[in-house]
Structure 1
Amino acid sequence: MTLDDLAPLHPRLDAERQLLVLELDHGKANEMGSEQLAAFERLCAYIEDPAREQAITCLCTTSRRRSARGKALFIAGANVTERVGWDDTRVKAHVIRQRQLMQRLRRLPIFNVAVSAGVTLGWGAEYMLTTDYSLAADEARFALPETGLGIIPGARGTAELASLVGPAQALRLGCVGEQIDADEALRIGLVQERVADVDAGLARVEAMAEQLRRRSPLAIAAFKHALLEGLGRAEAERLALEAAAYERCVDSGEAAIGRASFAEIREGKTPAWGRHRG
């Protein structure tokens, strides 16, 4: 599999920074339909492949798309129009597929970032929950309108939102469906940083990618796995996950490389880490 297989997501690779940027630009409003789901599934397979030739330690999803009226867009939700004529069984299967994809995106063995600079509704807001770090630009707007359509946010919205923003804010967003701006999203913890626009957001992501590429890809993946798998578990289970992650770094040889390269690492140089990826 190559980056050409991810064409619907408009990938751009910054090989020097080991940064893969997706600049979404499709449909009327970057709505997510079957074609995009398949592309995201291929993206996961590409990043999860330990034999992948291209080193990638950071993924960023953003968009410069604007509507015909000039409104900035990130992801305006799922492609509901493609479901016209579907029966209930097909709709349920489709949403299960979405949910499984979101779970897979959340567990990618790299640092995953989103920069929202526009309308981020439904599926788009749920996509933010799959990232490790989210930034909102001035024009970003967030909402979960699903209950007004007779459904719920079914791609991790009810399962994960409260753990990020707390139950009261999650209930406000999911039940009332209020739209919030970037400042409010930052205040309640839906996003972690504010930026002026896409360019400022990408500059921030590039700075993080510069630091990430100097670190062991396996250690990054091990830390992320232990942290996420430990959420909500008892202390003994969290410590067991931490122990397994640490020993994985040792057994892979990455810890030995770090010890042997300590002097050059202190000088800001990057050692020749192994090819272990996740």
Structure 2
Amino acid sequence: MALDLSSIAALHPRLDADRQLLILELDHGKANEMGTEQLAAFEALCALIEDEDHAREQAITCLCTTSRRVSKRGKPIFIAGANVTERVGWDDITVKAHVIRQRKLMQRLRRLPLFNVALSTGVTLGWGTEYMLTADYSIATDTASFALPETGLGILPGARGTAELANLVGPAQALRLGCTGESIDAAEALRIGLVQEQVATIELGLTRVEAFAEQLRRRSPLAVAAFKSALLSGIGRPEAERIALEEAAYERCVDSGEAAIGRSSFAEIRKGETPAWGRHRLR
């Protein structure tokens, strides 16, 4: 059964079924700004990936968000922030509810039961920089740049930026970006740990993502999801709690039958073959 991507059409999805790789090539609005339509599409994406039938029929084991968008002046764009224009005329209650919705979406994206890569290709402002925090691994092309301009608009990065950025880059760098709104290039983003890899072009970045996907599709989707869940849930917790999370995740792999599949297929796996992993609910 082919995967129905109609509910996420606003994100311009492209499915590489052989690699179990879903690529979102953002291309909307004036500058890929994130508004209500895109939030709804991202929520639909989460529902699609979390759905039990998806896991049974055609699992996606790797997700990549990128863009080939270029401005009229030839400037590459990844995500140029939230769609502020649509908020004209909104009252304070509506604005607060909208940002809470964004924050909940970002939390959900961070916990998706697959390997999630963000490939920034250009201007990455506000919501775009916060989106990088939802990824398991972030790549920037040489043309990428990052900034958090919110304090200059009388607000702050409210879609997990204030809550999570310091965990990734440290308090000093987070305060530098959030308080001053200073823009940094790809090399500086790599230096401070906002991204984990820098490449020259989007093509090289996608080649890297495809290599990830090739590795991931040979592994148990449930085991990958269980590892990610236990690791993220354990961050900041005492050792005893981290060990308990690891134990529960390991036993989940055993109880699901994935460990038995791995044991019985060990010889084939050593030859580079992929066993018939189970189709279980990933969450």
Residue 277 of structure 1 and its aligned partner are, at CA, apart by 3.9
Q: Give the structure-2-normalised TM-score.
A: 0.97
**Alignment partner for residue 229 of structure 2, among 217, 222, 225?**
225
**Residue 141 (structure 1) shift:** 0.3
Aligned to 2:14: 12
- For the residue of structure 2 that corresponds to 1:32, the secondary structure is coil
Preserved CA contact (<8 Å) 1:217 1:277: no
Match of 2:94 among 90, 102, 105: 90
Q: Which amino acid aligns with 1:176?
A: T
Structure 2, unmatched stretches of 5+, are none
AA aligned to 2:249 is A
Residues 1:270 and 2:274 are matched in the alignment: yes
Tell whether 2:147 aligns with 1:143.
yes
Aligned match of 1:255:
259
Give secondary structure in 2 for the equivalent of 1:142.
strand
Aligned equivalent of 1:127, options 111, 128, 131: 131
CA distance in 2, matches of 1:49, 1:220: 16
Q: CA RMSD in A?
A: 0.7
Write the letter of the residue equivalent to 1:69: R
Could you give the per-residue CA deviations for residues 26-45 of structure 1, whole angstroms, max 9, x where no partner exists? 00000000000000000000
TM-score by length of 1: 0.99
Aligned to 2:184: 180
Name the counterpart of 1:38.
40
| 3-state secondary structure, aligned to 1:59 | strand
Alignment of 1:22 onto 2:24 = yes
* TM-superposition CA deviations, 1:75-126 (whole Å, max 9, x none): 0000000000000000000000000000000000000001001000000000
When the two structures are aligned, how many residues end up with a matched partner? 278
> Following TM superposition, by how much is the alpha carbon of 1:249 offset from its aligned partner in structure 2, in angstroms?
0.1
- The letter of the residue matching 1:205 is V
Pairing 1:51–2:53 present: yes
Q: Structure 2: which amino acid aligns with 1:19?
A: L
Pick from 229, 234, 237 the counterpart of residue 238 of structure 2: 234
Distance in 2 between the 1:277 and 1:68 partners? 44
C-alpha deviations, 1:4-63, integer Å up to 9, x for none?
111000000000000000000000000000000000000000000011122210000000
Aligned residue in 2 for 1:116: 120
CA separation in 2, counterparts of 1:37 and 1:198? Answer: 24
Distance across 1 between alignment mates of 2:212 and 2:43? 25
Shift of 1:247: 0.1
Aligned to 2:203: 199
What amino acid is aligned across from residue 154 of structure 1 in structure 2?
G
Deviation, structure 1 residue 2: 2.0
Q: Do the aligned partners of 1:13 and 1:19 also contact (CA within 8 Å) in 2?
A: yes
Aligned to 1:135, the other structure's residue is in SS state strand
CA distance, structure 1, for counterparts of residue 253 and residue 169 of structure 2: 32
Q: Are the counterparts in 2 of residues 221 and 277 from structure 1 also a CA contact under 8 Å?
A: no
For 1:83, give the aligned amino acid.
R
- Alpha-carbon distance between aligned partners in 1 of 2:199 and 2:209, rounded to the nearest angstrom: 11
CA distance in 1, matches of 2:25, 2:203: 12
Instruction: Could you tell me which runs of 5 or more consecutive residues in structure 1 were left unpaired when the two chains were aligned.
Output: none
What is the identity, as a one-letter code, of the residue corresponding to 1:173? L
Paired-residue identity, %: 81
**Matched residue SS, 2:279:** coil
